[in-house]
Structure 1
Amino acid sequence: MPDRSPRVPVHVDPRGPRFAAVLTTLVLVLALATGSGVLLAAQAVVFALGAVLGLRRSPYGWLYRRLVRPRLGPPRELEDERPPRFAQGVGLAFAVLGAAGYLSGAGWLGVAATAAAVAAAFLNAAFGYCLGCEAYLLAVRGRARLGQG
């Protein structure tokens, strides 16, 4: 099995995570509009697969590789997979919280968590700004500062 340690980063086409953010935004808006905890739980599974197995093995990554990527030219550059993979974990946390809210009858929690996830996914889909990726970079910088002091 290949080494997936922080020293050996996997690189991905940055258009893949952005494509996934478009699909995620659509699913989350539908979950928010319908109050469906089941749909949000399904999105949580997608987030979990991306966070645990990697972006290429997630359902949206698979769709990108099979349906979209063959129709595009090569990417200008590749990006480190770790920040968007961390973002998948953040999305997972919000989706689990939201699904738990909807499914337990705490609709306000479902709405709040889903709305936060929609906002983050939309920022990535529309503007290429990944909040979870930025959180990852802040955590890495903070960890480096703690190690120096």
Structure 2
Amino acid sequence: MGVRQIFSFPNPVNETSARLVATGVVAQAVAFLIFREGWLLVPLVFGFAARVLTGPTLSPLGQFSTRVATPFVERRFGIESRRVPGPPKRFAQMVGLAFSGAAAIGWVTGATWATYGLLAGLVVAASLEAVLAICLGCIAYSAIWGCDDCDDISERLSQAVLRARVAVPADPVTTGDRVPTH
């Protein structure tokens, strides 16, 4: 693999992989907010830096998501992944790097409340991506540089709501439906 290949970002990006990476980011940031151990910021910041520079190539979370978690989730749940533009996702990773890097600097310099605030914002943004496929970094990218696929999130939001309804089966007791007896 050449240097040019290592320092490239995929385009298009598998949206399932992006959402799984966001889930991992949420887990890492929440772990820091719970345990408040500075070393937990190291893999968070490194992961964002690696993904900005190389996409999933040098990111342990990116590798796990693309090689293990995404194929499993797609097979298990019969999900057909949507391909989304890479540049907005790379920009979103840069924003994540800025937030996590500033949080780490805040932690080292004793500005703990700044650290908590930055990571709380990161958790909100990554949760929106992970749960609803709403990428705030992609929305910002679209506002700054334009992106046809990023301009209208209403279709994606309605699909996320439909998926949530399908994923949670109706309770026959509360809906009044008859429960089949065998």
Quick check: TM above 0.5? yes
What residue number does 1:104 align with? 109
Q: How does 1:43-122 map to 2 (within 5 A)?
A: 43-71=44-72, 72-73=74-75, 75-122=80-127
1:132 paired residue among 134, 137, 143? 137
What residue number does 1:36 align with? 37
Aligned residues: 138
TM-score w.r.t. length of structure 2: 0.68
2-side partners of 1:57 and 1:102: how far apart? 25
Stretches (4+) displaced over 4 A: none
In structure 1, list runs of 5 or more residues that go unmatched: 142-149
Amino acid at match of 1:67: V
Q: Is the 8 A contact 1:47 1:92 kept in 2?
A: yes
**Secondary structure class of the residue paired with 1:129:** coil
In structure 2, list runs of 5 or more residues that go unmatched: 147-182
What CA deviation, in whole Å up to 9, does each residue of 1:29-76 have, x standing for no partner?
111122233212320110011111124542222112221233325735
- Measured after TM superposition, the shift of residue 118 of structure 1 is 0.9
**Secondary structure class of the residue paired with 1:100:** helix
- Measured after TM superposition, the shift of residue 90 of structure 1 is 0.3
Q: Is the 8 A contact 2:15 2:81 kept in 1?
A: no
Q: Which structure has the higher relative contact order (CA within 8 Å, separation 6+)?
A: 1
Q: Is the 8 A contact 2:99 2:118 kept in 1?
A: yes
Let me know the Cα RMSD of the aligned residues. Answer: 2.2
1-side partners of 2:114 and 2:120: how far apart? 10
**Secondary structure class of the residue paired with 1:10:** coil
- Measured after TM superposition, the shift of residue 94 of structure 1 is 0.5
Amino acid at match of 2:145: V
What residue number does 2:20 align with? 19
The structure with more radius of gyration? 2
Amino acid at match of 1:29: V
Deviates more, 1:116-125 or 1:48-57: 48-57
